[in-house]
Amino acid sequence: MTTDRGYPAVRMYLAGEWCQGGTGATAPVENPATGEVIGEVPLATPDDLDRALAAAEQGARVWRATSVARRTAILHAAADLIAERAAEIGRVMTLEQGKPLAESTGEARRTADTLRWHAEDARRAYGRIVPSAPGTLLTVRREPIGPVAAFTPWNFPVGGPNRKISSALSAGCSLILKASEETPATAAALVACYADAGLPAGVLNLVFGEPAEVSAHLIASPVTRLIAFTGSVPVGKLLAAEAGKVMKPSLMELGGHAPVLVCADADPAQAARRAAQAKFFNAGQVCTSPSRFLVHESVIEEFTAEFVKAAESVTVGDGLEPGTTMGPLANERRLRAIERLAADATGRGATLRTGGERLDRPGYYFAPTVLTDVPADAALLSEEPFGPLAPIVPFTDLDDALRTANALPYGLAAYGFTKSAATAEKLSDGLEAGILSINHCGGSVHEAPSGGVKDSGYGREGGPEALDAYLITKRVSHLLAG
């Protein structure tokens, strides 16, 4: 069922049923391209959450007892449905999140591939037989950890939830997803693909609600065995602390403030084009978005000129309009935050090279912005911008630049541009980050791990490492003569 604006009616999914939730309470959902309310999201009551927990407990038992061949077949069927429905998932995502249609549908298509990759990888989650004393069979087994409580944000409305769902379900766990209340229809469309593929009731449950109340309820419950969160550092620390109180492991994919080091021997124009493309992808609302540009003084003018050219060639508009290459910010909070960071930088003496203000039209649009002469005390250089702001800062000595890059408590992504193998190795060794790209700004891929160090979190998503958090290791020593 869709509303008259082409936005679907959103439901929660509990114990294999689509439902509205106990009190019928809802929150509005906005289209950030217009600021208009386009629909509503149901909010869970404590009873709804208890229903989700009971379903996940039962679902974990059923799923664990399902053969790996059957599990894999259902997950492949879900991936096929995601791929088939990518255009519709993308359209709904653009309506509620704002990103250009090509980015939305591309995200949905990649999501199907990610699910297939994890489903196949989990078939090889082998344990081992360990040589031991005669008459003793010593084995190490990997078992599903149990029901997972997962919390995902609004910036990748299908890819974000699916990273958690695909790893958990491939590993044999059940999962309760609390997706963002700002992008609920995309999450529901994703869950529908799993449901329609024949997933047994209770294995995957979807709730929305007041985030702090939902997370407190699900984390405290003895049913959940793992807390998986993607979002900001402050909320991640809060949830990790709550999980710690009940001795639960957590997987934390938090924010970053990715440095880009452009060395004296790099091609500055090429580096600028590649970095700018990554900078304005999803309007900069990406945890790995390049966000501090440390450029050797000998190439900074050429780099800046090319970066400004790239920023000015971005077509900002409604993501549904053909030709748009950057949509609005996803919500008014982000617009206010970006306005504050830009004003703080210019107020402290930074030079505005292009952009610098919101667009004069309804919706939450902010122009691609490039700033130079940014003083070290500008908030933009220490606070994650999560928006289309590019501060460019000169350096003369690479060791100093490395110290600056590592000075923040974040450690998610980092980027380097150089033609020297020795300098590339120095950057690879010296940058404190979980994800490093040299001579490009590579995005995340399902075949290799992503994750942070320091305040950016712990645990990995993607690659074989993605299953680690969802599997426990059990040692079984069997005295055969006994």
* Positions marked catalytic: 253, 287
CB of 306 or CB of 461, closer to ligand NAD:
461
- The least CB distance from residue 48 to ligand NAD, in Å, is 16
CB of 353 or CB of 460, closer to ligand NAD:
460
**427 binds ligand NAD per the rule CB under 6 A:** no
Among 5, 123, 333, 403, binds ligand NAD (CB under 6 A): 333
CB of 232 or CB of 382, closer to ligand NAD:
232
Task: Give the per-residue contact string, 271-310, with ligand NAD (x = CB under 6 A; - = no).
Answer: ----------------x-----------------------
CB of 304 or CB of 456, closer to ligand NAD:
456
CA distance 464 to 468: 8
CB of 239 or CB of 243, closer to ligand NAD:
239
- Classify the C-alpha dihedral 272-275-280-285 as positive or negative: negative
Give the amino acid at 150.
Answer: A
Tell which positions 148-167 bind ligand NAD, by CB under 6 A: 151, 153-155
**443 binds ligand NAD per the rule CB under 6 A:** no
**318 binds ligand NAD per the rule CB under 6 A:** no
- The least CB distance from residue 303 to ligand NAD, in Å, is 26
Tell which positions 178-237 bind ligand NAD, by CB under 6 A: 180, 211-212, 215, 230-232, 235
Among 53, 254, 320, 427, binds ligand NAD (CB under 6 A): 254
**172 binds ligand NAD per the rule CB under 6 A:** no
**458 binds ligand NAD per the rule CB under 6 A:** no
Q: Which residues bind ligand NAD (CB under 6 A)?
A: 151, 153-155, 180, 211-212, 215, 230-232, 235, 238-239, 253-255, 287, 333, 384, 386
